[in-house]
Structure 1
Amino acid sequence: MFTTRKTTSRTSRTTTAKAVGALGAAALLAFTTACGGGGDGASGGEGGLEKTSVTVGALPIADFSTLWWAEEKGFFEEEGLDVTIEPVQGGPVGAQMVATGELDFTTSTTFNTMSATDNGMPVDTAASLSGSADNSIAMYVNPDSDIQGIEDLDGKTIGINNTNNTGDVTFRALADHLGVDVEPTFIEVPFTEMLTGVQSGSIDVGYSPEPFLSAAWDAGMRQIVDLTEGPNHEIATSNIVSGKAFLGRNPNTAAAFARALYAANEDILAKEQEWRDWLPSIAQLDEGTAQQLPMPVFATEMDEEGIGHVADLMIEQGIISEDYDASEFIWTPED
């Protein structure tokens, strides 16, 4: 059964966290460069595309598969767009590249985007991509570990791809929801090395999304925390980011790009089995994993409520400023 994000009211959460530090050097460089950027082409006039060839940074994983589906199935072409997908190392790097004009769009996480914009990076969310399906992000241990659950993680080392992102934010949100007072030590470990880190004992606990999570189960790892429970249910995780300068100069192009993504997601949701059969052609996973992994909660419109929920969690945890307003960093086309 496929899933789609539902618009449901969430309980308002108190925002009592302290504001974070000043603008980082990388963000400052991106801001300075973007402010001096040149034009992207002739004006599109009444609804015409300002430019037809665009570049987007992405990693070939299930959460971002919309981009390849839109390209292969002709959704970009229907909007008059010629899209080139380029590999990026991750959300923070991609955000800097769109801020400086090296890319027109990039995939990111909502968590990365909020940290970047709170620190002054001139980027906006141009489209929502997906949320986390049930059982799609989790923490695990060796099968003989003494760790049985979240209450046993005080002082333990947990591998995480980068801090103040999906893994640790959802962990703290879940611990708070459950009333569990634990303070583990988060150690940055690439997803490709997470499993071996747990197996070797260099970290006590691993954290992974799909498809790395399926690899952990295949290796016999034991789950101790499901990070999609409670306040993290269908949490808005993946988005498309673009530079404010690009969006200001190319609103019709950006709107066409977003329309193509949402149309592609509608198509995926209507053709789940075809999507699963196709997924190994663009992502590094085998056919069996593609048939079993939880399907992302693909977005068919801008998920402003979901983005606001993530902002509330990050404010509560003191990661972004108390007065951060997520709506200020969501780009919407003019009517």
Structure 2
Amino acid sequence: MAIDNRRPARPRGATLTAISAAAAAVLALSGCGGGSPSSTQPDGGTAEAGSGDLDHVTLGLLPITDVAPVYLGIREGYFRAEGIDLEVQPAQGGAAIVPAVTTGEYQFGYSNVVSLLIAQDKSLPIVVISNGSSSTNEPGHDTTEVAALPESGIGGPADLAGKTVAVNALNNFADTTIRNSIEQAGGDPQQVKFVEIPYPNMPAALARGDVDAVWTTEPFRTQVLDAGGRIVASPMTDMAPNFDSAFYFTSRQTLEQDPELVARFRSALLKSFDYASAYEDQVRAVIQDYAKVTPELAGKVEMTSWRADINMDGLKRLGTAAKKYGVLENEPDYTGLVAD
């Protein structure tokens, strides 16, 4: 039966830890360059930098609920306290963010884990500097899942074999994790057909019958459920406990040339994680601004978990699956991908 999204909000995890002592040793409040005149705010407006000591830093983000801590961190002044005037550049997918970071157009970016594994597989000079978002560990109540209509006849992951499933990007995160779920459930992971559809278009595509199921994230996941859909697979919880779905990253050049900036950005980011984990009501309020979520929908969407530490076991399981299903050509270099 359909998932009930109106259950009481659950408490979030324990308070996040501070960054490592090595990173903390190089933290500094004064920047190397001049400040920017403005930075993007949660309400879409701008705020004066007010000081030439702030480093103008650009971050590429997706307009999804998982990145709410960044907007809260800007509002609460965590980035400015670290000498950073943060400008957010919204993007529709990691395919645009990764090259912008590698060319230096953006200093930092946010992307799903498989996109970053693919970038490394293609020898692009990117390096992960922080966790980004993680599974809720609750099948049927995760932030990114596979949904279908009751009349589809799909009752679980194995039933996706022989069906057409909408994903936001082909040969990437969705393909890998869905195939893994199908195989774990005893189905044939090679018998599923994937078609690429942007997240915002998925609810309508499912309603029209263009596809049998959709791999969807919040707030579109809840829109599908409100229209009568039901969750038929939870690929992130199937992959590993405490599974990380996305990371923040930078170019290797930025990390090597300005490790202090990276450390300060990470410090502000983890403080933002801490704040978002403690104040779920503030998360549900801020997503109404940058993600254009209605108040009613904001009150129902599933909230991701924000953890300081990267789950290396989950990352390796994902990398193994991506190689197995042909998304990656080479075995990932996990120590080279994740900064110390």
Q: Does 1:313 align with 2:321?
A: yes
Q: Does 1:82 align with 2:88?
A: no
- How far 1:301 sits from its partner (Å)? 3.6
Match of 2:167 in 1: 160
Match of 2:76 in 1: 73
The CA distance in 2 between the partners of 1:109 and 1:5, in whole Å, is 24
Q: Does 1:121 align with 2:129?
A: no
SS at match of 2:299: helix
| Cα deviation code 1:69-89 (max 9, x no counterpart) | 111111101111111111222
Match of 1:11 in 2: none
> Quick check: 272-281 or 68-77, which moved more?
272-281
Match of 2:3 in 1: none
Note if contact 1:269-1:298 (Cα within 8 Å) is conserved in structure 2: yes
The CA distance in 2 between the partners of 1:88 and 1:278, in whole Å, is 18
Q: Does 1:227 align with 2:230?
A: no
SS at match of 1:82: strand
- How far 1:232 sits from its partner (Å)? 4.3
> Quick check: 85-94 or 321-330, which moved more?
321-330
Q: Does 1:240 align with 2:248?
A: yes
Note if contact 1:174-1:229 (Cα within 8 Å) is conserved in structure 2: no
Number of aligned pairs?
Answer: 295
* The one of 169, 186, 208 aligned to 2:176: 169
State the structure with bigger RCO (CA 8 A, min sep 6), 1 or 2: 1
Report the CA distance shift for 1:69/1:129 in structure 2 as closer, same or farther (over 3 A).
Answer: same
The CA distance in 2 between the partners of 1:255 and 1:220, in whole Å, is 45
- How far 1:46 sits from its partner (Å)? 6.6
Structure 1 stretches of 4+ moved >6 Å: none
The correspondence of residues 1-335 of structure 1 with structure 2, limited to 5 A, is: 1-4=10-13, 48=28, 49-51=31-33, 52-133=55-136, 134=138, 135=141, 136-182=143-189, 183-332=191-340
- How far 1:113 sits from its partner (Å)? 0.4
| Cα deviation code 1:53-73 (max 9, x no counterpart) | 111111232111121111111
Match of 2:37 in 1: none
The CA distance in 2 between the partners of 1:181 and 1:316, in whole Å, is 14
Match of 1:22 in 2: none
Note if contact 2:68-2:286 (Cα within 8 Å) is conserved in structure 1: no
The CA distance in 1 between the partners of 2:157 and 2:331, in whole Å, is 31
SS at match of 2:327: coil
* Structure-2-length-normalised TM-score: 0.80
Report the CA distance shift for 1:95/1:4 in structure 2 as closer, same or farther (over 3 A).
Answer: farther
> Quick check: 116-125 or 142-151, which moved more?
142-151
SS at match of 1:65: helix
- How far 1:314 sits from its partner (Å)? 1.9
The CA distance in 2 between the partners of 1:252 and 1:3, in whole Å, is 30
SS at match of 1:295: coil
Note if contact 2:121-2:330 (Cα within 8 Å) is conserved in structure 1: no
The percent identity for this pair of structures is: 24
Report the CA distance shift for 1:263/1:47 in structure 2 as closer, same or farther (over 3 A).
Answer: closer
The CA distance in 1 between the partners of 2:314 and 2:154, in whole Å, is 32
Aligned partner letter, 2:152: S
Note if contact 1:162-1:189 (Cα within 8 Å) is conserved in structure 2: yes
- How far 1:6 sits from its partner (Å)? 11
CA RMSD of aligned residues (A): 2.3
Report the CA distance shift for 1:265/1:102 in structure 2 as closer, same or farther (over 3 A).
Answer: same
The CA distance in 2 between the partners of 1:274 and 1:85, in whole Å, is 19
* Structure-1-length-normalised TM-score: 0.81
